[in-house]
Chains A and B, each alone.
Chain A
Amino acid sequence: MSLGVIMLVHTAFDRAEQMVRHWAAAACPVVVHVDSNVPDATYDAFMRSVADLADVRFCARHRCEWGTWGLVAASQEAATVLLEDFPDVQHAFLASGACLPLRSIADLIGYLKAQPDTDFIESATTADVPWTVGGLDRERFTLRFPFAWKKHRRLFDWFVKLQQILGYRRNIPEGIRPHMGSQWWCLTRQTLDAILQDPNRDTYDAYFRKVWIPDESYYQTLTRLHTRKVESRSLTLAKFDYQGKPHIFFDDHAELLQRSKSFVARKIWRDADQLYQMFPLPSDPLGAAEEPNSGAVDRVFSQAVERRTLGRAGLYMQSRYPSIDRQTNVAAAPYAVLQGLSDVFPDFQPWLTRQTGAQVHGHLFAKDRAHFADDSDVYRGGLSDNARLRDYNGKMFLTNLIWNGRDEHHCFQFGPADTQDICWTLAKDTNASIWVVSGAWSIPLFSSGRSASDIRAEAARLQRIEDKFLKVLRSPDARARINIMTLAQFIEAPMDVLQTIIDEIAGHRGNALKEVPKMADLTGLPDFLQDLKNQGMHPFLTGDITVGNTQAPKPISRRKPYVISTK
């Protein structure tokens, strides 16, 4: 009989009884504290249910509300009884009714016997731990908290703020340095006795009574005064979510718990029958000295916290709906928007597909329908090509398209003839890479063979729309990677631009251009543009197109890249 247990119970009394019996069966005396909020009838029934066990005591009851002194008072009360009534107890273990021993208790006793002078209590200084919820770490020791955080959150926050503004600070009693950590500990008789018998205990108690969440700091701080050897970790496996609420273990966690090799775990769901049947495991003499290793459990639960706080970028769904306008990453993966290139190169789309292996769509936002890469009427995820359905929520059409196909790189053609509602979304998305050859819309107009006077109005309209788009792209709010060049600039050296685009899309897979896309026949384009000018419609977005620069491009011979060093 070297291990004694302090058990705090406030609910699920059938399970608590079961736990008391587990400890008692391993010859551990148990002192139970029952929350004074529990009705007397329930309390009496619980006491009767364990009346047959000799070494079980019940101590005086305190009101235990989360984050209040009551929890410390309860454990002090129980610890006093434990140390007085059971002089053989060498280690005291603080547990709750929802703490389930995983390994055999005999193994735990053996483990503690091997380290008779060690206090197992998680205890870190506030300067070094970022775990606290609500941002109050140091301040929980220096401010006052007269309002319950759970019931009067606003008053609580307001009062904290007020003290911060006024610069109010409580004095920390001399000789102690605030530490905090998990409230579940296992202390040696020597340390626990010293804490309870400390001549300054009244001072410390008076101080901690007004600290926020004292059950996470009282023993954690005072142990440091009296301990011979601290092992700063809890023997109880307890995981907390992002709000500081304990995670609950269910039947399907059985394997995870078993692998953790932890001695005790909490919280266990009250109806997790399988866990309650399976644990504690029978004594395993070979593995008795094995250290707990909760790595797998940690991973599972930290993933949950990450999912809850960060979520999957680019996913918009029923329980994740960040404002698209306030985000920097709108879509789930990088994609390219190409304006004007398919006007200069009529076969641009199949050519780019061949060069990069990416999903190269046509005009996704065309007025007639969405032109998907495979030209189907339904695309990945069940996206319809219907223009009205698409325009009904263009932003989510885009985010759906990228989310559904986030394993591939997507590119699509865009232009002033398309629906323009999506402009701002594209410009603000850091995942978008936008390439604009401005004025390229003049080429299909020119090739249509109609006279400039017929086309004048249409050209003016397209130019107005494109100009608006360019203004959006040049606004300080635009966050996409943006490359704008005039048609004249582009046809000066088209291959350099194409090579950059391909390198960006295909990444390391991008090879030197083997095949040059066929450029539309631009002979006569300068005259056509001059005609427009003569009619008073200046196509300023095309740049200065002359006869000289409308000749077909020659493939450039790319110099062989020598990698010198990759630092």
Chain B
Amino acid sequence: MTSYRLRWQRKHWRARALRKGRELQAVSDRTSDIGPDDVLLFCTFRNEDVRLPFFFDYYRKLGINHFLMIDNGSADNGPAFAQEQPDVSLWRTDAPYGEARYGVDWLTYLQGRYADGRWALTVDVDEFFVYPFCDTRPIRALADWLDASEVRSFGAMLLDMYPKGPVGQTEYARGDNPFETASWFDPGNYFMTQNKLLKNLWIQGGPRARSFFAAKPKQAPALNKIPFVKWRKPYAYVSSTHMMLPRGLNLVYDQQGGEKTSGILLHAKFLNTFGDRATEEAQRAEHYRNGQEYKTYAERHGTDPDLWCQWSEQYINWRQLEVLGLMSKGNWA
């Protein structure tokens, strides 16, 4: 009965994506270059000119073959820059972000159309995917291994990275590696519960829960993500990349005590661009729960937040994250 209901829900999201897909205008369509074995990246952005160069660099080094990008009404040079890239297909829309389920509808539309039968990585411009052996094995190796192990989806928790000292006082210039300044993270204060309906874990915690949401923990942002999926046409993300339908895809964790292989999305949110952004997005109220998260930041923004504490860890590499227990090699050796 429940699965029947979820099936209709999934079909609803798919239909909605088809409708919302019409809002997208192709700016440069290079999708004919996509090969059958290519690993694709899907991303929506708005006014991210400063971040895009490093973003493309990072993911090219990881072995992404083609970027499918949606520009949601940027006013800066970002779209022009993206359009120049030979491995980027770019769409544009000025339709409201919130009404497209925070961009998920647009992405679902593109994924259904271009990612069927391929591995698709869905991230934001400030999310950087880290997986076991990512320094020695390209993302294609991960995809092939997951294929061989008959695994369809791969989880990667969002890990908020922050600088030492007030966030507003960092300097981030176009092309910089954000983790040279925002190199710190909380190593062991994440908590989770299981979503009985969709089977995903709901993970919260980290510096945002500790500093901004301690008094209202329920509203602390969700950190569970399933960004890497062997896509099939019927699939749909339900809420950002936090959970999916069919719900079997959400079982990226083991319940018998073993560890499944998992990664991390390093979240470069807390840079000097953060303060302005929080104010702007709070006014725009286009984000989840009308941007309540951004409102909370904006309220706090008067006292430029310093998230660093004496137990913060400085990022070294994926092995460090695996030893701390934030991600796992699982069965991959």
Name A residues whose Cβ lies closer than 8 Å to a Cβ of B.
241-243, 245-248, 250-252, 269-271, 300-301, 303-305, 307-313, 315-323, 327, 376, 378-384, 386, 388-389, 392-393, 396-397, 400, 403-404
CB contact between B133 and one of A250, A312, A378 (< 8 Å): that residue: A250
How many residue-residue contacts, CB under 8 A, span A and B?
179
Q: Closest CB of chain A to B6's CB: distance in Å?
A: 21
Measured between beta carbons, the chain B residues less than 8 angstroms from A304 are 329-333
Q: Does B260 contact A (CB under 8 A)?
A: yes
B328–A319 CB distance below 8 A = yes
Q: Does B138 contact A (CB under 8 A)?
A: yes
B328–A307 CB distance below 8 A = yes
CB contact between B257 and one of A300, A322, A379 (< 8 Å): that residue: A322
In chain A, what residue has the closest Cβ to B214?
A386
Measured between beta carbons, the chain B residues less than 8 angstroms from A250 are 133, 136-137, 141
Measured between beta carbons, the chain A residues less than 8 angstroms from B207 are 382
Q: Does B215 contact A (CB under 8 A)?
A: yes
Q: Is the interface of B mostly helix, strand, loop or mixed?
A: loop
B136–A248 CB distance below 8 A = no
Measured between beta carbons, the chain B residues less than 8 angstroms from A315 are 259, 325
CA distance A378 to B325 in the complex (A): 20
Measured between beta carbons, the chain B residues less than 8 angstroms from A400 are 188-191
CB contact between B331 and one of A252, A308, A383, A403 (< 8 Å): that residue: A308
In chain A, what residue has the closest Cβ to B326?
A317
CA distance A307 to B187 in the complex (A): 20
Interface centre among B259, B262, B330 (most CB of A within 10 A): B259
Known: A308-B330, A308-B331, A318-B253. A382 touches B186 (CB 8 A): yes
CA distance A100 to B136 in the complex (A): 20
Q: Does B94 contact A (CB under 8 A)?
A: no
Q: Closest CB of chain A to B325's CB: distance in Å?
A: 5
Q: Closest CB of chain B to A185's CB: distance in Å?
A: 23
Name B residues whose Cβ lies closer than 8 Å to a Cβ of A.
133, 136-138, 140-141, 144-145, 148-150, 155-157, 186-194, 201, 203, 206-207, 209-210, 213-218, 224, 252-262, 309-312, 325-333
B187–A247 CB distance below 8 A = no
Measured between beta carbons, the chain A residues less than 8 angstroms from B192 are 316-318, 321, 393, 396
CA distance A301 to B332 in the complex (A): 8
Measured between beta carbons, the chain B residues less than 8 angstroms from A252 are 133, 136-137
Measured between beta carbons, the chain B residues less than 8 angstroms from A310 are 257-258
Q: Closest CB of chain B to A362's CB: distance in Å?
A: 18
Measured between beta carbons, the chain A residues less than 8 angstroms from B206 are 382
Measured between beta carbons, the chain B residues less than 8 angstroms from A311 are 254, 257-259, 328
B189–A386 CB distance below 8 A = no
CB contact between A271 and one of B136, B141, B149 (< 8 Å): that residue: B141
B144–A308 CB distance below 8 A = no
Instruction: Give me 19 A-to-B residue pairs in the complex whose CB atoms sit less than 8 angstroms apart, sorted by A's number.
Output: A242-B331, A248-B148, A251-B136, A252-B136, A269-B141, A271-B144, A307-B329, A307-B330, A308-B331, A309-B258, A317-B328, A318-B201, A319-B327, A320-B328, A322-B255, A389-B209, A389-B213, A393-B191, A400-B190
CA distance A384 to B137 in the complex (A): 37
B214–A312 CB distance below 8 A = no
B326–A388 CB distance below 8 A = no
CA distance A252 to B132 in the complex (A): 12
CB contact between A320 and one of B216, B258, B312 (< 8 Å): that residue: B258
CA distance A379 to B187 in the complex (A): 11
Measured between beta carbons, the chain B residues less than 8 angstroms from A392 are 191, 217-218
Q: Closest CB of chain A to B169's CB: distance in Å?
A: 21
A321–B255 CB distance below 8 A = yes
B311–A379 CB distance below 8 A = yes
A308–B189 CB distance below 8 A = no
A320–B253 CB distance below 8 A = yes
